[in-house]
Amino acid sequence: MSTSRLAPADRARYARQLRLSGFGESAQAALLDSHVLVIGAGGLGAPILSYLAAVGIGTITVVDPDIVELSNLHRQVIHTEAAVGSRKIDSARQRMNGINSSIEVRTIAQLLTVDNALDLFDGVDIVVDGSDNFATRYLANDACEIRRVPLVWGTILGFDGQVAVFDVEHGATLRDLYPEVPAPGSVPDCSVAGVLGPLCGSIGSAMAMEAIKVLTGIGTPLYNSVAIHSSLDAGWETVPVQPIPGRTPVTDLEMHRSDYTQHTFDLLGTDDGTEGAAGTNTGESPLGPAAVTWSELDETSVLVDIREDDEVASGMVPGAIHIPMDELLADPGRLPVGSDPMQQSGIALYCRSGVRSAKTAAQLRSQGTAVTSVNGGYLAFLSQPTPQQR
């Protein structure tokens, strides 16, 4: 877009940005010509999407299958009480269009997966990752490396947050910062550790600014470095990150598929040693499969939702029963099955994303209880083109 293409309405809307020294109409034109894909419309996604819409990104694609819950609202400020129970992408689009009706907002109610990541990233100028789990973060990083697309990355835990820009064309990627993918459940998410809304605002806003810097060429993006923020002392520290010499480039997502799963938990093992990890059987187990997908579920399976009360308030899989994880682990006898595992219909546990259900299934299976975990959890259920009715 040339500067002459800025319409009078654009000059009026973005007047304060245009007056910035070093920004001007050329930078604004670059933003209006840009296509940004944002993963997640939650705690980080809320400020990212709000500011990218307001600043005038021409096309914004939002990827998120999740539903707005009441417990989201203290930090996911793009949503309102009226949106509880609706799709986050629909709520976010309404808010973004309310901020700036001149931009195009595209929405995709799916999880980011090995099967769709490369297609979704094709043709975008930058990806901003506001996801909340390591599986998605590494998948986004690797897909960006293959597509040669810059990635703005951010994460929060407790009172602290981190921000970086990963771009193989400029050097380091997430695999240079964290070469080993943390084991699922080894780092608590906000549903376990908690989070304050203003920290999401600080990190998400910083991520939006990094995207703007990359797209317009102003300033110095956080290439080859990670900015670490401590909200309790208001401090920022920038730490250098260098590419690992000799690191094998990521050229095929299939080769790293195991890094993108959230359901690999070590089991204590059966007496015959046939099981090593949930979803990975080295032999036939008398307890059945440790993990299944929604499409693999038997029609007679008993679905058990192990999420907390506030999570299920916004919706459950039809036909499922609700037993919170802690209550189930304290009293496995609450499962609606007989005492003989060989005579039981399948029992399938699910949570939000598959992490808690896999961990719970692993513990119960180690005690001889025949249960399985549904990979991807409720988010994967919502990601289906037509969610299964039971």
Does residue 43 sit in the same domain as residue 89? yes
What letter would DSSP give residue 368?
T
Is the backbone of residue 129 left (phi > 0), alpha (psi -120 to 50) or beta?
beta
pLDDT at 62 over 80: yes
Domain membership flag for residue 6: no
- Residue 65 CA to residue 68 CA, distance in Å, equals 10
What letter would DSSP give residue 101?
T
Q: Which H helix or E strand runs over 360?
A: helix 355-366
Q: Which residues contact 3 (CB under 8 A, 6 or more apart)?
A: 24, 25, 26, 29
Q: What is the pLDDT of residue 129?
A: 98
Q: What is the pLDDT of residue 192?
A: 60
Does residue 185 sit in the same domain as residue 39? yes
Mean pLDDT computed over 39-57: 98
Does residue 275 sit in the same domain as residue 251? no
Does residue 239 sit in the same domain as residue 300? no
Of 232, 258, 284, the residue at which a domain comes to its end is: 258
Secondary structure class of 294 (helix, strand, coil): helix
pLDDT at 3 over 80: no
Burial-class residue 194 by CB neighbours within 10 Å (0-12, 13-18, 19+).
Answer: exposed
Does residue 99 sit in the same domain as residue 168? yes
Of 236, 258, 280, the residue at which a domain comes to its end is: 258
Max avg pLDDT among 96-100, 368-372, 379-383: 96-100
Give the model's confidence band at 230: pLDDT under 50 very low, under 70 low, under 90 confident, else very high: very high
pLDDT at 267 over 50: no
Give the model's confidence band at 188: pLDDT under 50 very low, under 70 low, under 90 confident, else very high: low
Summarize pLDDT for 326-376 with one digit per residue, the tens: 999 999 999 986 444 444 458 999 999 888 999 999 999 999 999 999 999
Closest-CA residue to 357 (of 319, 311, 300): 311
pLDDT above 70: percentage of residues in the chain:
87
Give the model's confidence band at 184: pLDDT under 50 very low, under 70 low, under 90 confident, else very high: low
Q: What is the pLDDT of residue 388?
A: 54
Max avg pLDDT among 74-88, 251-265, 266-280, 336-350: 74-88
Of 258, 285, 301, the residue at which a domain comes to its end is: 258
What is the reported pTM?
A: 0.88
Contact, 208 vs 48, CB < 8 A?
A: yes
Does residue 215 sit in the same domain as residue 112? yes
Does residue 238 sit in the same domain as residue 305? no
pLDDT at 244 over 80: yes
Q: What is the pLDDT of residue 386?
A: 67
Mean pLDDT computed over 117-139: 96
Report the half-sphere exposure of 6 (CA within 13 A, side-chain side). 18
Domain membership flag for residue 2: no
pLDDT, averaged across the chain: 89
Q: Which H helix or E strand runs over 199?
A: helix 197-216
Let me know if 351 is a catalytic residue: yes
The total domain count for the chain is: 2
Max avg pLDDT among 93-97, 154-158, 361-365: 93-97
Does residue 216 sit in the same domain as residue 292? no
Percent of the chain as helix, strand, coil, to the nearest 5: 35, 20, 45
Domain of residue 60 covers 34-258
Q: What is the pLDDT of residue 298?
A: 83
Q: What is the pLDDT of residue 279?
A: 40
Q: What is the pLDDT of residue 299?
A: 82
Q: What is the pLDDT of residue 283?
A: 46
Burial-class residue 158 by CB neighbours within 10 Å (0-12, 13-18, 19+).
Answer: middle
Active-site residue (options: 351, 355, 364, 382): 351
Contact, 382 vs 67, CB < 8 A?
A: yes
Contact, 189 vs 132, CB < 8 A?
A: yes
Does residue 269 sit in the same domain as residue 371? yes
Mean pLDDT computed over 23-38: 97
Let me know if 190 is a catalytic residue: yes
Max avg pLDDT among 205-214, 258-267, 306-315: 205-214
Summarize pLDDT for 269-304 with one digit per residue, the tens: 333 333 433 344 444 678 889 899 999 998 888 999
Active-site residue (options: 190, 209, 241, 277): 190
